[in-house]
């Protein structure tokens, strides 16, 4: 974490602006005073990653990556979030009678529902603008921003700030621009065990295991009864040229085995009476 700037010290960006006699607009100056922008003075948040360099570490497939699996996963997480909200609201009411929200708040639940509906289950890609979320759920920008912070603190999500180089920057002007955050949907530590139990594969029923065993044994017995050439034709599904070579080899093995059978004594496998 970046250390807070002492009250009696000026952020580096402001000092640099004074030294270079650069006039800063009010917004840029405010950002620099808060210590949230990079030392270059660019109008992007500190610790912003260049687009395309961090997403593969942020976005992961949701559940098994399928629509069905993803929807089941987010339904379970949303239920857990609502349970968490209700529990923390009850706890808060013990000391603050009449309080309306828990740790996530009504807006936090609405934001989480929106993100769960928006995420790409196959890739985990999730990059909405805060203003877009606010418009979609009918809340203010500041309310959504605060809700996102609460969700992050509770362990339901995290995000990475991102920036993008400006394609044709004005000489001496802004070189990069801020773009939307890359969000990652997470499972809070408190419910990881519950989620693991919910999504673990059910054991195969004993009757089904017996059926699979019988089918496997029957298949192996069938292969054992085939000639080498027949076995090749039954099981080979690879390269055609290599397959033809193996098939010729199988024919040679069959011919050798047949000759051995013809020359063997009566009573031996392959012999004649």
What are the residues facing 115 on neighbouring strands?
none
Q: How far is CA 116 from CA 62, 85, 87, in A?
A: 10, 17, 21
| pLDDT at residue 198, as a whole number | 74
User: Tell me, what's the pLDDT at 267?
Assistant: 41
Same domain for 22 and 118, yes or no, is no
Q: What is the CATH number of the domain that holds 77?
A: 1.10.10.10
Q: What gap in Å lies between CA 256 and CA 157, rounded to an integer?
A: 68
Closest to 29 (Cα-Cα) out of 47, 45, 19, 17: 17
- The answer to whether the pTM exceeds 0.75 is no
Q: What is the per-residue pLDDT for 128?
A: 97
Q: CA-to-CA distance for 165 and 154, rounded, in angstroms?
A: 33
pLDDT at 19: 43
Q: CA distances (Å), 91 to each of 77, 88, 101, 125, 154, in order?
A: 21, 5, 10, 35, 15
Same domain, 37 and 58: no
> 198 near 176, Cβ under 8 Å?
no
CA atoms within 13 A on the CB side of 204: 8
Residues 24 and 53 in one domain: no
| Cβ atoms within 10 Å of 108's Cβ, excluding its own | 25
Same domain, 191 and 97: yes
The whole-angstrom separation of Cα 33 and Cα 35 is 5
Does one domain contain both 173 and 228? no
How confident is the model at residue 244, as a pLDDT?
A: 61
Over its length of 273 residues, how does the chain's per-residue pLDDT go in tens digits? 333 333 333 444 444 445 445 565 554 554 444 444 444 556 788 788 999 998 998 999 999 999 999 999 999 999 999 999 999 999 999 999 989 999 999 999 999 999 999 999 999 999 999 999 999 999 999 999 999 999 999 999 999 999 999 998 888 888 899 999 999 999 999 888 888 887 676 566 677 677 777 777 776 676 666 566 655 555 545 555 555 655 666 666 666 666 655 554 444 333 333
Residues 210 and 187 in one domain: no
Do 175 and 74 share a structural domain? yes
Domain limits for position 70: 43-199
The structural domain count of the chain equals 3
Residues 105 and 238 in one domain: no
| Closest to 99 in 3D by CA, of 89, 111, 85 | 89
Cα(271)–Cα(273) distance, rounded to whole angstroms? 7
**Residue 14, CA distances (Å) to 36, 43, 46, 170, 247 in order:** 12, 13, 15, 22, 79
Ranges of beta strands (E only) in 18-132 are 49-50
Q: Are residues 132 and 253 in the same domain?
A: no
Q: How many whole angstroms from its chain centre is CA 252? A: 53
- Look at residue 270 in the predicted model and tell me its pLDDT: 37
Same domain, 32 and 58: no
């Amino acid at each position: 974490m970046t250390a807070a700037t002492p009250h009696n010290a000026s952020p580096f960006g402001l000092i640099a602006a004074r030294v270079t006699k650069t006039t800063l607009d009010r917004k840029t100056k405010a950002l620099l005073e808060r210590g949230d922008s990079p030392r270059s003075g660019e109008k992007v948040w500190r610790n912003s990653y260049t687009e395309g360099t961090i997403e593969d570490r942020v976005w992961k497939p949701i559940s098994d990556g399928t629509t069905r699996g993803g929807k089941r996963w987010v339904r379970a997480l949303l239920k857990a979030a609502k349970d968490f909200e209700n529990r923390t609201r009850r706890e808060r009411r013990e000391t603050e009678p009449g309080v309306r929200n828990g740790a996530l708040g009504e807006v936090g639940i609405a934001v989480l529902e929106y993100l769960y509906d928006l995420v790409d289950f196959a890739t985990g890609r999730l990059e909405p603008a805060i203003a877009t979320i606010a418009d979609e759920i009918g809340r203010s920008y500041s309310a959504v921003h605060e809700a996102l912070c609460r969700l992050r603190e509770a362990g339901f999500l995290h995000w990475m700030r991102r920036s993008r180089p400006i394609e044709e920057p004005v000489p001496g002007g802004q070189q990069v621009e801020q773009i939307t955050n890359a969000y990652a949907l997470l499972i809070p530590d408190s419910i990881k065990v519950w989620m693991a139990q919910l999504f673990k594969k059910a054991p195969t029923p004993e009757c089904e295991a017996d059926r699979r065993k019988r089918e496997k044994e029957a298949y192996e017995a069938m292969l054992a009864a085939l000639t080498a050439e027949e076995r090749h034709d039954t099981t080979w599904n690879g390269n055609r040229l290599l397959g033809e070579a193996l098939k010729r080899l199988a024919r040679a093995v069959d011919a050798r085995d047949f000759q051995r059978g013809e020359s063997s004594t009566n009573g031996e496998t392959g012999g004649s009476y």
